[in-house]
Amino acid sequence: MNDLLQTIEPVTLMGPGPSCVHSSVLDALAKPTLGHLDPDFIRIMDAIKQQLKTLLHTRNALTLPISGTGSAGMECSFVNLIEKNDPVLILINGVFGMRMQDVATRLGADVDTLEFDWGTPVIVDVVQKQLSKKTYKLVAVVHAETSTGVMNPVSGIGSLLKNKETLFLVDAVTSFGGTDIFMDDWGIDVLYSGTQKCLSCPPGLSPVSFSRAAVDVIEARKTKVPNWYLDLSLIMNYWEGATRAYHHTAPVNMLYGLYQALCLILEEGETRVFERHMKTHLQLVRELDHLGIRMHVDAACRLPMLNAVCIPDGVDDADVRTRLLKQYKIEIGAGLGPLAGKIWRIGLMGHTARPENVEKLIQALKAVLPPLRDR
Ligand code: PLP
């Protein structure tokens, strides 16, 4: 192996993603590469579609992983559904809601936004009021806002849109695999995620799922999807049917990795996986409290998999993160945008969500932080 690779040492990934990857997923990535139309590979593709449907609790036929990271899933969702001047409502309480606004605006949509304080959730009543004033083609929200550590009330927003023509689009990049998602019951029409968070697979794929209503919208488009690579009407021909048509060369080994990562979640059982996320989150909150470190977000809407913690006064943000990485081989995340320098983002995602990792981080923080009495 080349020397640059030989020097890589394992890091306990406790930031906003990527998360730690199970050894069996790394083994899967190293399996021999097959041709992207090989029947054995197509069997794996079909199994992944079924696994995703099971874990998302959806019957959507159009459920598959897009080649590319979570942002590719975001781009794919908007580019297939939006045409110029389509009225769109984006609910924003962090960086990733803002990114949705950017993506929709670039496509020429007529974008309205409702903005909520960073660190607080979207308020369903405010959304309801806005929906009574104007009809939208699509309403979009981030389920787990990774930039602030807030869980948004997706099922409540979905109830507002039931039996309406408006499509409901949800970013589940950070939530999928770490907490409940009932895509069909919650009235979600379009969802995208990413592999590198609670699915505990390296970055590179973005599971997406589109309801029948969303597919009808795609089929009724007046204009061509303005992006060839993410055009689902073309991608579908590779992922569906008895004969598969080449679209682009699938990232074969990444898909082996995703298959194995999904197998692990299904084998452990999703309820137990979610309980493990919640238990380690509560352990972290307790231990941080003993160190005099407060959480940024109210308990009622905290994410279990992404903990936004207030950097104590007088503590040097970058110095602590650098020492954790260099001396203890632990990565935690910095704050983004207005929260830069104010919070750390501690990820307990997927395989990372284990009591021994919380313990390891707490011991390292004890060594790195000035004692409580000196702060
Ligand atoms: N949406 C959310 C909520 C995210 O947390 C991220 C990444 O952190 C993305 C979208 C973009 O995903 P990626 O960085 O994999 O492109």
Question: Mind listing the domains of the chain with CATH numbers?
Answer: 2-18+270-368 (3.90.1150.10), 24-266 (3.40.640.10)
| Cα–Cα distance, 84 to 75 (Å, whole number) | 15
Q: What is the average pLDDT score of the chain? A: 97
Q: How far is the CA of 75 from the centre of ligand 1 (A)?
A: 11
Residue nearest to atom 12 of ligand 1 (CA): 70
Asked if the model's pLDDT at residue 241 lies above 70, the reply is: yes
| Cα–Cα distance, 225 to 218 (Å, whole number) | 9
DSSP letters for 198-264: TT-S-S-EEEEEE-HHHHHHHHT-SS--S-STT-HHHHHHHHSSSSPPPSS---HHHHHHHHHHHHH
Task: List pocket residues of ligand 1, CB cut-off 6 Å.
Answer: 16-17, 69-71, 74, 96, 142, 146, 171, 173-174, 194, 203
Mutate to test the pocket of ligand 1, among 19, 67, 71 (most ligand atoms within 8 A of CB): 71
Helix (H, G, I), strand (E, B) or coil at 336: coil
Show the tokens assigned to 189. 């029409």
| Mean pLDDT value of segment 361-371 | 93
For residue 144, give the ligand 1 atom closest to its CA.
Answer: 3
Show the tokens assigned to 85. 């001047």
Q: Residue 362: its pLDDT value, please?
A: 98
Q: How far is the CA of 195 from the centre of ligand 1 (A)?
A: 10
Q: How far is the CA of 150 from the centre of ligand 1 (A)?
A: 14
Q: Give the neighbor-by-neighbor strand order of the sheet with 306-310.
A: 306-310, 343-347, 333-334
First-to-final CA distance of the chain: 47
Q: How far is the CA of 76 from the centre of ligand 1 (A)?
A: 13
For residue 203, give the ligand 1 atom closest to its CA.
Answer: 15
Q: How far is the CA of 281 from the centre of ligand 1 (A)?
A: 21
For residue 196, give the ligand 1 atom closest to its CA.
Answer: 15
For residue 71, give the ligand 1 atom closest to its CA.
Answer: 16
Of 16, 57, 64, 59, whose CA–CA distance to 271 is shortest?
57
| Mean pLDDT value of segment 335-354 | 97
For residue 143, give the ligand 1 atom closest to its CA.
Answer: 3
pLDDT digits (tens, 9 = 90+) for 130-181: 999 999 999 999 999 999 999 999 999 999 999 999 999 999 999 999 999 9
pLDDT digits (tens, 9 = 90+) for 242-264: 889 999 999 999 999 999 999 99
Q: Residue 370: its pLDDT value, please?
A: 80
Mutate to test the pocket of ligand 1, among 173, 196, 198 (most ligand atoms within 8 A of CB): 173
pLDDT band at 373 (very low <50, low <70, confident <90, very high): low
| Mean pLDDT value of segment 34-49 | 97
| Mean pLDDT value of segment 33-61 | 97
Model pTM greater than 0.95? Answer: yes
For residue 17, give the ligand 1 atom closest to its CA.
Answer: 8
